[in-house]
Structure 1
Amino acid sequence: MNIAYYTMPHLALASWVKSHGQNASEGISKSLKQFLGSKPQFAPLKPLRQSLEGIEVKDPKLAKLLCQLIPAQCPFERTIQFRGRVIVHIPPLCKLNPVYEEVVSLRFRALCYLADVCGEDITPYCTN
């Protein structure tokens, strides 16, 4: 027996009856929020993400090091071919990294620092 399939119509009907003076859709959404509850989000990587976002690039050596260490493209994407036919395509797995956006943002800030503040040519860092 599917509990959600059975419960949701009865819950919606009960909330509609209970909210006779309110808009029915507001009553339904309120009842669903009470039914589902508001769970606090579990975010164990939030301090790491905040620390990566808080890094300010103010040194050319640090900016160059970051641009060299953080790749411009996902290094794990591969297409395996045999005699000209694609056997397996491994998709980019970097998006599975929970701090991917923050690391890419840090690399972008380093590139912007080198280009805007230091006036360096950043084309060597744009290709791998």
Structure 2
Amino acid sequence: MSETHFDSNLIARPPQKFDFLQPLRNWFDSIQIHDRRAAHFVCKLIPAQCPFERDIKLFGRTIAHIPPMCKLNPLYDQFVGLRFRALCYLVDECGEMVV
């Protein structure tokens, strides 16, 4: 019986794409909240819900729906994570609830 050996260098790999936003994502993910005022500022700055989602009504009937566009933001997950860390700081360290 013959065995087939594959050289891993001969396998075609897709070219690596450079994600120019990755350094910014890493920076946002590395931000730690250690100040009550900063935590409140972050919670005010980053909304809990997408402010663009709307129902268009005419005479009490919904005629159109504008879907949330926040997911189109390439840094959406980082902003949500930063707001979550700020909320956790306020609850865990300061004993406050922010809504």
TM-score by length of 2: 0.85
Establish whether residue 107 from structure 1 lines up as the match of residue 83 from structure 2.
Answer: yes
Partners in 2 of 1:83 and 1:43 — Cα distance?
Answer: 47
Identity of aligned residues (%): 50
RMSD (Å) for aligned C-alpha atoms: 1.8
Alignment of 1:67-78 (within 5 A): 67-78=43-54
Select the residue among 89, 92, 95 that pairs with 2:71: 95
Following the alignment from structure 2 to structure 1, what is the Cα–Cα distance between the partners of residues 40 and 16? 39
For structure 2, the residue ranges without an aligned partner over 5 or more in a row are none
**TM-score after normalising by structure 1:** 0.67
Find the partner of 2:30 among 38, 54, 71: 54
The answer to which structure, 1 or 2, has the higher relative contact order (CA under 8 A, 6+ apart) is 2
Q: Bigger radius of gyration, 1 or 2? A: 1
Q: Secondary structure at the match of 2:57?
A: strand
Post-superposition shift, 1:21? Answer: 5.0
Equivalent position amino acid for 1:99 in 2: L
Q: How many residues are aligned here? A: 94
Superposed structure 1 runs of 4+ greater than 2 Å apart = none
CA–CA distance in 2 between the matches of 1:84 and 1:61? 42
Unaligned runs of 5+ in 1: 1-19
Which residue number corresponds to residue 61 of structure 2? Answer: 85
